[in-house]
Amino acid sequence: MTDTTSTATEDTDVLSRLEQEGEIAADYLEGLLDIADLDGDIDMDVEGDRAAVSIVSEGPTRDLQKLVGREGEVLEALQELTRLAVHRETGERSRLMLDIAGHRARKREKLTALGTEAAQQAKEAGEPVKLKPMTPFERKVVHDAVAAAGLRSESEGEEPQRRVVVLP
């Protein structure tokens, strides 16, 4: 078997595993929606190296906002519970990403803009720019935006006060 065939097989195996994670998560979340008597459709995808599952609604998303909570706290908890459900089924740690009513997508847009703006500020000032403490998801988005702007960044501090520092 050639390296190309081996790589293609590994890619297919990874994709199959991530799709399986998405299906397990979708089943778990459908059960949760039934218990909570909430309407929502489940969308599954694979984004990079992780399964991505979204709960969306065609109508008003007010009911789904209950699953997001203040500042996404409920969403974070549900993501962890969903990851645990996947782990229970597969025996593997999951990096699954959950979005509800587009909350994470909107937050990603804002954080990308924040990272780009902080990179510009660090370039102009020639000094590091420290941002407010963030969750791991938020930091990852900012790190990616800073890298796309051509600068480096690092995280400093201990949870829950861990923050991104953009380096000039």
Decide: 104 and 148 in contact? Cβ < 8 Å.
no
What pLDDT score was predicted for residue 7?
72
The pair of three-digit structure tokens given for residue 32, joined into one six-digit string: 């949760």
What pLDDT score was predicted for residue 104?
92
What pLDDT score was predicted for residue 46?
93
Q: According to the 3-state scheme, what is the secondary structure of 42-100?
A: EEEEEECCEEEEEEECCCCCHHHHHHHCHHHHHHHHHHHHHHHHHHHHHCCCCCCEEEE
The pair of three-digit structure tokens given for residue 95, joined into one six-digit string: 């990096």
* Average predicted confidence (pLDDT) for the chain: 92
Decide: 131 and 104 in contact? Cβ < 8 Å.
no
Nearest to 28 by CA among 64, 66, 75, 79: 79
Per-residue burial over 100-120, b if 16 or more Cβ lie within 10 Å, else e, is bbbbbeebbeebbebbbebbe
pLDDT beyond 80 at 2 = no
What pLDDT score was predicted for residue 10?
79
CA distance 85 to 15: 19
pLDDT beyond 80 at 60 = no
Each residue's pLDDT tens digit, 75-100: 999 999 999 999 999 999 999 999 99
